[in-house]
Amino acid sequence: MKQIESIKEFGGWLNRYQHDSACCDCTMTFSVYLPPRAATEKVPVVYWLSGLTCTDNNVRTKAGAQRYASELGIALVMPDTSPRGEGVADEPDRYDLGMGAGFYVNATEQPWVRHYLMYDYVTRELPALIEAELPVVAGLKSITGHSMGGHGALVCALREPGAYRSVSAFAPICHPSVCGWGQGCFGAYLGENRESWKAYDTVELIRSGVAKIPLLIDQGTGDEFLADQLHHQDLQAVCQEKDFPLTLRMQDGYDHSYHFIATFIGEHLAYHAQALSR
């Protein structure tokens, strides 16, 4: 991997890297914040998965997360939301399919299957690269994200028992099989057999009886996508049915933006830091 940018922030370094991804069969860009502690010892990692339309740049610019990561001594890894570049399948007129909308699944359908293996990318290829190249403790990681990335974080943690010490999400797409964004992407990437969708759907995974891991979720009551896309009630219902540990905090008046994330990212990172210290 090649470092293409390095900016000092809160005593640590906000770096950007590029590498040739085998999963995505293209050059992938990601950012990593290394806290001051990483200069002298290996640190744990929190993975941040971003939402529709984002690159690695949104969260590093808008969330205010680096301040807390610096204080807590954890690295932040911020991948892109899809493969990109010449020759990568896309729907240029849509923000919610193709580039910027990988949905953290392994596509099985044409024309997406060649590049859109984002699930393997974020759970396997990227952590292996990070652990080989950067001062982080191998295997000591947690995961969080926003909206499509909140969905991604929950799915990764539910499908990979033991891989993540903790998981949280901001305004996640809880039940993608029943919302417009999820149906559009799953139909394209995974095909019309809805059975195949269940492996990437938080509500369906919990319904299927996956191993328990506590879920911490913040959701704004003023979120403009709450009613149509996020379906937190479906998650509440299945968690109650399965006695699955869910902490869903409805945050009065907050919207879907990074201003909402900025408000609560400190609590999420402290939660992960505690899980990563045990």
47 sits near a second copy (criterion: CB under 8 A): no
Count of chain residues binding a second copy (CB under 8 A): 23
> How far apart are the C-alpha atoms of 55 and 230, rounded to whole Å?
21
Tell me the closest approach of the beta carbon of residue 167 to a second copy, in angstroms: 24
- 223, 231, 232, 268: the catalytic one is 223
Give the distance from CA 209 to its chain's centroid.
22
Taking the least distance from each CB to a second copy, the nearer of 10 and 131 is: 10
Binding mask 211-250 for a second copy (x = CB under 8 A): ---------x-x----------------------------
> How far apart are the C-alpha atoms of 175 and 194, rounded to whole Å?
13
- 70, 147, 166, 168: the catalytic one is 147
Instruction: Mark the segment that binds a second copy (CB under 8 A) among 7-15, 89-97, 135-143, 193-201.
Output: 7-15
> How far apart are the C-alpha atoms of 191 and 194, rounded to whole Å?
8
Binding mask 163-202 for a second copy (x = CB under 8 A): ----------------------------------------
Contact 166, 271 (CB under 8 A): yes
* Type of residue found at 82: S
Active site residue 277: no
- 151, 256, 268, 272: the catalytic one is 256
Tell me the closest approach of the beta carbon of residue 113 to a second copy, in angstroms: 36
Taking the least distance from each CB to a second copy, the nearer of 50 and 123 is: 50
9 sits near a second copy (criterion: CB under 8 A): yes
Question: Which residues on adjacent β-strands are paired with residue 167?
Answer: 143, 215
Choosing from 30, 112, 254, 271, the residue that interacts with a second copy (CB under 8 A) is 254
Tokens representing residue 99 in the block: 């580039």
Tell me the closest approach of the beta carbon of residue 271 to a second copy, in angstroms: 17
> How far apart are the C-alpha atoms of 237 and 41, rounded to whole Å?
43
* Type of residue found at 172: P
Task: Say which residue the tokens 């797409």 belong to.
Answer: 173
Rounded alpha-carbon distances, angstroms, from residue 95 to 58, 102, 125, 145, 273 = 15, 11, 25, 18, 33
Active site residue 90: no
Count of other CB atoms within 10 angstroms of residue 132: 10
Peptide bond into 36 cis (omega under 30): no
Choosing from 8, 40, 41, 243, the residue that interacts with a second copy (CB under 8 A) is 8
> How far apart are the C-alpha atoms of 264 and 171, rounded to whole Å?
11
Choosing from 94, 255, 267, 270, the residue that interacts with a second copy (CB under 8 A) is 255
262 sits near a second copy (criterion: CB under 8 A): yes
The SS3 of residue 9 is: strand
Choosing from 14, 23, 32, 276, the residue that interacts with a second copy (CB under 8 A) is 14
Question: Which residues on adjacent β-strands are paired with residue 169?
Answer: 217
Contacts with a second copy by CB under 8 A lie at 7-11, 14, 61-62, 64, 66-67, 220, 222, 253-255, 257-260, 262-263, 266
